[in-house]
Amino acid sequence: MSKKVLVLGEAREGALRNVSYEAIAAAKQISSGGEVVSVLLGDSVGELATELGKYGADRVITVEHPHLKQYTSDGYGQALLAVIEQENPEAIVFGHTALGKDLSPKIASKLQIGLVSDVTSIEGEGDAAVYIRPIYSGKAFEKVKVKDGIEFITIRPNNIAPLAKDDSKSADVSSMSVDITNLRTIIKEVVRKSTEGVDLSEAKVVIAGGRGVKSEEGFAPLKELADVLGGAVGASRGACDADYCDYSLQIGQTGKVVTPDLYIAAGISGAIQHLAGMSNSKIIVAINKDPEANIFKVADYGIVGDLFEVIPMLTEEFKKLKVNA
């Protein structure tokens, strides 16, 4: 049976996040030929709506309100519940982002339904859809089915491929007005710590440093390589605990879980807790002075050597590759 699926689009600094398109692809599969309706919430998001159609949304509903300028679970919750009430979807898809993680349990609780969080792939379509998600920080996986009620999932960024962009397609865009009141949280300030744009959890390339980086300054060559590859810099707990970098960069069982196409671990020994945060990356490169380091066991390619020699050489080689490309 085909299903009507509601998808939450997510914008950041005026642009749609990639996970919005990935969520549409997931919704298409769950819908099994049914309608995919994207929802955009914000104070001014109308201009972004057309883009969602090109990635497969059949319809886009925008809710614009001054109180939606910044995310709060109250504001977004009220807006989304109003849309859900109007649309009566049979399935809902969010990104498993900071926003999605914060908002989805509220909606699920309000509707008294199940919620399958952090889905990395979907098997089957429509009523037969089965959701696959990592458990024990990626040391195992589970397949989950929704027994009854609305199928509500959040998808992990970078795992479900978006549909190819089709400029000839467009979605019907409509706006809905929702009364948003009684916000219990007031956002005072947002301090941007994440560096220039590339979000660690969405990055296609991650260059991560461990204790072997030795100092805060030691991260500079990693940053340079990340810039050349359009990637993000991450770190092991060891590097964070030693104050070489901010905890916001930490990858592992506590910390972020990343699944980039390319993960370069520099000076990281590969403790089991670190592996939990990155072992599902597509390609893993290990650079470590210690040939016995555990990280080599999960790496696709390894270089035994000093990261301060290897990383700058890699940066130069990749620069050459870019010039020749």
Partner 1 sequence: MNIYVLVKRTFDTEEKIVVSGGKIQEDGAEFIINPYDEYAIEEAIQVRDAQGGEVTVLTMGGEDAEKQLRTALAMGADKAVLINIEDDVEELDQFTAAHIISEYLKDKNADLILAGNVAIDGGSGQVGPRVAESLGINYVTTITNLEINGTTVTIKRDVEGDTEVLETSLPLLVTAQQGLNEPRYPSLPGIMKAKKKPLEEVELDDLDIDEDDVEAKTETIEIYLPPKKEAGKVLEGELADQVKELVHLLHSEAKVV
* CB nearer partner 1, residue 105 or residue 162: 105
Which one, 45 or 286, has the nearer CB to partner 1?
286
Rule CB under 8 A: is residue 1 a binding residue for partner 1? no
Closest by CA to 96, choosing from 212, 246, 257, 247, is: 257
User: What amino acid is encoded at 18 in this protein?
Assistant: N
Residue from the set 23, 108, 180, 307 that interacts with partner 1 by CB under 8 A? 108
Nearer to partner 1, 45 or 206 (CB): 206
CB 118 within 8 A of CB 108: no
Q: Contact between 98 and partner 1 (CB under 8 A)?
A: yes
| Residue 35 found at the interface with partner 1 (CB under 8 A) | no
Q: Which is nearer to partner 1, 169 or 297 (CB)?
A: 297
Q: Is 74 in the site for partner 1 (CB under 8 A)?
A: yes
- Is 85 a binder of partner 1 (CB under 8 A)? no
How far apart, in whole angstroms, are the C-alpha atoms of residue 261 and residue 284?
8
Is 93 an interacting residue with respect to partner 1 (CB under 8 A)?
no
Span interacting with partner 1, options 42-50, 105-113, 160-168, 212-220, rule CB under 8 A: 105-113
Question: Annotated binding residues, as ranges?
Answer: 211, 236-237, 250-254, 267-274, 288
Nearer residue to partner 1 within complex by CB, 112 or 181: 112
Q: What is the b/e burial string over 230-257, where b = at least 16 CB atoms within 10 angstroms of the residue's CB? A: ebbbbbbbbbbebebbeeebbbbbebbb
Closest CA to 63 of 45, 47, 50: 45
Contact positions with partner 1 (CB under 8 A) in 175-204: 184-194, 199-201, 204
**43 in contact with partner 1 (CB under 8 A):** no
Decide whether 88 or 112 has the Cβ nearer to partner 1: 112
Annotated binding site for FAD: 211, 236-237, 250-254, 267-274, 288
Q: How far apart are CA 301 and CA 284, in angstroms?
A: 7
Phi and psi at 29, nearest 5°, equal -65, -45
Nearest C-alpha neighbor of 218 from the set 239, 249, 201, 247: 239
Query: With contacts defined by CB under 8 A, how many residues of the chain interact with partner 1?
Result: 92
Q: How far is CA 250 from the centre of its chain?
A: 15
Tell me: does residue 233 bind partner 1 (CB under 8 A): no
∠ at Cα 309 (305, 313), nearest 5°?
A: 110
**The binder of partner 1 chosen from 97, 158, 159, 269 (CB under 8 A):** 97
114-153: which residues touch partner 1 (CB under 8 A)?
A: 114-118, 130, 133-149
129: which DSSP letter? -
CB 101 within 8 A of CB 154: yes
- Mark the segment that binds partner 1 (CB under 8 A) among 21-29, 96-104, 163-171, 206-214: 96-104
* 85, 88, 112, 179: residue in contact with partner 1 (rule CB under 8 A): 112
State the Cα angle at 317 between 239 and 212, rounded to 5°. Answer: 15
Contact call for residue 20 and partner 1 (CB under 8 A): no
- The identity of residue 301, as a single letter, is Y
Question: What is the DSSP code string of 52-92?
Answer: HHHTT-SEEEEEE-GGGSS--HHHHHHHHHHHHHHH--SEE
Q: With respect to partner 1, which residue has the nearer C-beta, 110 or 165? A: 110
**DSSP character string of 168-185:** T---EEEEE---------
Nearer to partner 1, 8 or 200 (CB): 200
Q: Residue from 32, 35, 65, 73 that binds partner 1 (CB under 8 A)? A: 73
- Per-residue string for binding with partner 1, 282-311, x by CB under 8 A? xxxxx----x----xxxxxxxxxx---xx-
